[in-house]
Amino acid sequence: MLTIIGITAPIFLLILVGFVATRVGIIPREALPGMSRFVLYLALPVLMFQKISQLDMEVLIDPQYLMVYSFSCLVSFVSVFCISRLILNNSTSFSSLKGFGSACPNSAFIGLPVLLQYFIEDAPTQAFAMSLMVENIILFPIAFALMETHGDTGVGLKKIVITVAGRLVRNPIIIAVFSGVLASLVGFQAPGFISRGMDLLAGAAAPVALIIIGGSLAGAAFSASFKDIFMIAGFKLLIQPLIALCLVIFVVPDMDLMLKQAVVIFSASPMASIYPIVGGQYGKQAYCSGVLMATTVLAFFSISLMLSLLSLIQ
């Protein structure tokens, strides 16, 4: 257990540092968007490019990983959507927003740092690339299409396709993934001074991302009901990773061990930090901020639990 705490404690310590630093004014709240852009447009894409460009392309895509991750995300999304829509009588748009929070992990800012801490060396970063593919190509389009049904009137397929396609081609991490694939195929090697500069940038991705998470929680308003928090956090932090764990044990037992562990880690991550930003587009920013705060705090315990359960995987 001490080993598990040794993995999770540094992660959440940096989140706490970011929270306190923002609270006392060391990091102005106005600086957080700029720090986020630094991670999303510079540090994280460089990290992904480095890792993927060094991979054998035959091991980049694993169909079993994609199946397990997609299924666990979609079960969580559909379950919360149906509960909200059919039992709680929420609108289709609001139900989809809840489902999005319960299904889309914070792969970049929490999942990846936990992965790097868990494996220390030779972490299977192709798992991060595959997780991003599932989130951006499957989960985001479904969630955003349903969230755009204001008043349940629906939107045209053309608008949905254009919106999703625009999101994909502008996503710097997706661009980095495909650039890394191309670099691997042509055998590209960056010159020494460029490579060292990229190492410095890549090394900043995880710690700065965690500071941002803490800083964003410092200004979070709390307006969500405990019933909604229990439902969304329960599916995100427990049901989704447990589904992934059961699948890798009973359905795809021959899957690579490191990828089995990685898919559970990513599935156990709390919701994406953009959740309040997405909710703000539909007048639910305060609601989403409260859910994000509660879920991120609870994630310390749930991630520790899931890491301890990884011993069940052979």
Structure confidence by residue, pLDDT tens digits, 229-244:
999 999 999 999 999 9
- Report how far apart the first and last C-alpha atoms of the chain are (Å, whole number): 19
Q: What is the mean pLDDT of residues 119-123?
A: 80
Q: Is 109 a residue whose pLDDT tops 80?
A: no
What average pLDDT does the structure give for the chain?
Answer: 84
Higher pLDDT, 188 or 243: 243
Q: What share of the chain is helix, strand, coil (3-state, %, to 5)?
A: 80, 0, 20
CB contact at 8 A, 55 and 126: yes
The secondary structure of 156-192 as a DSSP string is: -HHHHHHHHHHHHHH-HHHHHHHHHHHHHHHT----H
Q: Is 221 a residue whose pLDDT tops 80?
A: no
Q: How confident is the model at residue 184 (pLDDT cuts 50, 70, 90)?
A: confident
Q: What is the mean pLDDT of residues 30-36?
A: 86
Q: Is 82 a residue whose pLDDT tops 70?
A: yes
Going from the C-alpha of 194 to that of each of 120, 201, 297, the distances in angstroms are 24, 11, 38
Q: Which of 166-170, 194-198, 258-262, 278-282 has the lowest mean pLDDT?
A: 166-170
pLDDT at site 81: 96
Q: What is the mean pLDDT of residues 2-24?
A: 85
pLDDT at site 96: 93
Q: Is 186 a residue whose pLDDT tops 60?
A: yes
pLDDT at site 107: 85
Give the single-character DSSP code of 60: T
Question: 198-214 burial, b if ≥16 CB within 10 A, otherwise e?
Answer: beebbebbbbbbbbbbb
pLDDT at site 151: 47
Token output for 195: 């490579």
What sign results for the dihedral spanned by CA atoms 136, 137, 143, 149?
Answer: positive
Range from 156-160, 276-280, 302-306 that averages highest in pLDDT: 302-306
Gap between the Cα atoms of 65 and 252, Å rounded: 9
pLDDT at site 133: 80
pLDDT digits (tens, 9 = 90+) for 248-282: 999 999 999 999 999 999 999 998 877 876 777 77
Determine how many CB atoms are found less than 10 A away from the CB of residue 153. 8
Share of the chain above pLDDT 90, in %: 33
Q: Which of 17-31, 155-169, 245-259 has the lowest mean pLDDT?
A: 155-169
Q: How confident is the model at residue 152 (pLDDT cuts 50, 70, 90)?
A: very low
Gap between the Cα atoms of 291 and 289, Å rounded: 5
Q: Bridge partners of 271? A: 105
